[in-house]
């Protein structure tokens, strides 16, 4: 059964990729989208976010824009792998909150799981209020070509599971204490604020790259790193032996420990992990106390990590739609007649 599911979802991913390639050739108009409104007061198309997602037909090829009116949505949401091209958008992250309270027991435990490719999240707060007693994912991202704009993510341990695929985060706030950005995605974080609530040496990142041939890793560009104490935060530790994380042009407060990085109790990973820093500033950016197996990057070394080319973003990042079509057009197109 596990092999069947793997093959099934791989087939869906390939189908979405082909659809995206066709769209890139000019067949898809990204300037318009079908609009679905989620409003707890009952004035929209749905009162729950998951109901709106469920209304999108499988193997969707239409840009879908789900606008979420302000409110606290106490629900766990999943964007399935066979529903690409969905945008979930609030108007302000602080007033559009998706919240759940569950420890990481299964892959279904995150507050929000994005399994589909070509997904966009805008102006949302996604949080897991499980607390400090264990792993608790707020957001899992396992689709390819996924972007988040102006969002906020809160938990304590493993806040953001940036699992697989190419991802872009800009102007986002990410808070946690232990490994709160983790996984084996290939991600660019641009102008994001990373805030550690650790008081005893928690790590911001736990990137899981397992092979030198694996083209994954996390790049933080023009970001800000803050924390609740002096020297209480590591920039990262290697979940995978070839863990790869780069910070560039980033402001670091004195919450960053002088050594910068931790080997997770396995000295062998010191030889294979790739941890770099380029033109960062602030009291926590001082390289003089860094562990010897991290590296200050040269211009040529840093160049591959500091632009959207790192995630091939110029080929798939798209602007917000300017025009919207009525939800009824989606119902008509749905093979079930009702979405």
Q: What is the pLDDT of residue 29?
A: 78
pLDDT digits (tens, 9 = 90+) for 134-161: 999 999 999 999 999 999 999 999 999 9
Contact 84, 60 (CB under 8 A): yes
The catalytic site residues sit at 158, 179
Q: What is the pLDDT of residue 106?
A: 78
From 207, 165, 158, 137, select the one nearest 9 (Cα to Cα).
165
pLDDT digits (tens, 9 = 90+) for 285-336: 999 999 999 999 999 999 999 999 999 999 999 999 999 998 876 665 554 4
Per domain, the residue ranges of the chain are: 165-317
In sequence order, what are the beta bridge partners of 233? Answer: 202, 256
pTM of the model: 0.90
pLDDT digits (tens, 9 = 90+) for 249-279: 999 999 999 999 999 999 999 999 999 999 9
Token pair in block for residue 97: 């909150």
Phi and psi at 17, nearest 5°, equal: -65, -40
- What is the CATH superfamily name and number for domain 165-317? Single-stranded right-handed beta-helix, Pectin lyase-like (2.160.20.10)
CA 89-93-95 angle, to 5 degrees, is 105
> Does residue 33 register a pLDDT over 80?
yes
Task: Count the neighbouring beta carbons within 10 Å of the beta carbon of residue 322.
Answer: 9
CA distance 84 to 163: 17
Q: What is the pLDDT of residue 11?
A: 38
């Amino acid at each position: 059964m596990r092999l069947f599911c793997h093959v099934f979802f791989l087939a869906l991913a390939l189908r979405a990729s082909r659809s995206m390639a066709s769209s890139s050739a000019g067949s898809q108009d990204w300037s318009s989208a079908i609009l679905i409104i989620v409003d707890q007061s009952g004035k929209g198309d749905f009162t729950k976010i998951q109901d709106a997602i469920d209304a999108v037909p499988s193997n969707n090829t239409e840009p879908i824009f789900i606008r979420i009116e302000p409110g606290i949505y106490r629900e766990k949401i999943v964007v399935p792998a066979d529903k690409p091209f969905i945008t979930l958008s609030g108007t302000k992250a602080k007033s559009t909150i998706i919240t759940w309270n569950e420890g990481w027991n299964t892959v279904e435990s995150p507050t929000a799981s994005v399994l589909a490719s070509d997904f966009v999240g805008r102006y949302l707060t996604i949080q897991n209020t499980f607390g400090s007693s264990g792993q608790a994912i707020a957001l899992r991202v396992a689709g390819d070509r996924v972007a988040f704009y102006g969002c906020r993510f809160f938990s304590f341990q493993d806040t953001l599971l940036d699992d697989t695929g190419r991802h872009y985060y800009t102007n986002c706030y990410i808070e946690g204490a232990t490994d709160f950005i983790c996984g084996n995605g290939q991600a660019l974080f641009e102008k994001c604020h990373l805030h550690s609530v650790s008081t005893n040496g928690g790590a911001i990142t736990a990137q899981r790259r397992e092979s030198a041939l694996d083209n994954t890793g996390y790049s933080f560009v023009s970001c800000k790193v803050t924390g609740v104490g002096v020297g209480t935060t590591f920039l990262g530790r290697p979940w995978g032996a070839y863990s790869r994380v780069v910070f560039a042009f980033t402001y670091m407060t004195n919450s960053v420990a002088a050594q910068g990085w931790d080997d997770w109790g396995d000295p062998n990973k010191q030889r294979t992990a790739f941890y770099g820093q380029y033109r960062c500033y602030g009291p926590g950016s001082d390289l003089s106390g860094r562990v010897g197996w991290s590296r200050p990057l040269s211009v040529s070394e840093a160049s591959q990590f500091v632009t959207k080319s790192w995630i091939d973003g110029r080929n798939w990042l798209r602007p917000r739609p300017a025009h919207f079509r009525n939800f009824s057009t989606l119902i008509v197109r749905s093979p079930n007649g009702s979405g």
